[in-house]
Amino acid sequence: MSTSGGGRFEKIGSYVRAKRVGPFVFVAGTTAIEPSGKLHAPGDTYAQTIYAFERIADALNNVGAQMGHVVRTRAYLTDMKDAGGFVRAHGEIFAGIEPVSTAVEAGLTTPGMMVEIEVDAIIHDVDGQIMFDEP
* Domains contained in the chain, CATH given: 2-122 (3.30.1330.40)
**Cα 111 from Cα 133, distance rounded (Å):** 42
Q: What is the pLDDT of residues 25-52, one digit of tens each?
A: 999 999 999 999 999 999 999 999 999 9
With 0-12 / 13-18 / 19 or more C-beta atoms within 10 angstroms meaning exposed / middle / buried, residue 132 is exposed
The mean pLDDT value of the chain amounts to 91
**Does residue 68 have a pLDDT over 70?**
yes
pLDDT, position 59: 97
What's this model's pTM, rounded to 2 decimal places? 0.90
Do 25 and 69 touch, CB atoms closer than 8 A? yes
pLDDT at 10: 59
How far, in Å, CA of 98 to CA of 83, rounded? 17
Q: Would you state the pLDDT for residue 15?
A: 80
Q: In 1-135, where do the E strands start and end?
A: 2-3, 18-21, 24-30, 70-77, 100-105, 115-122
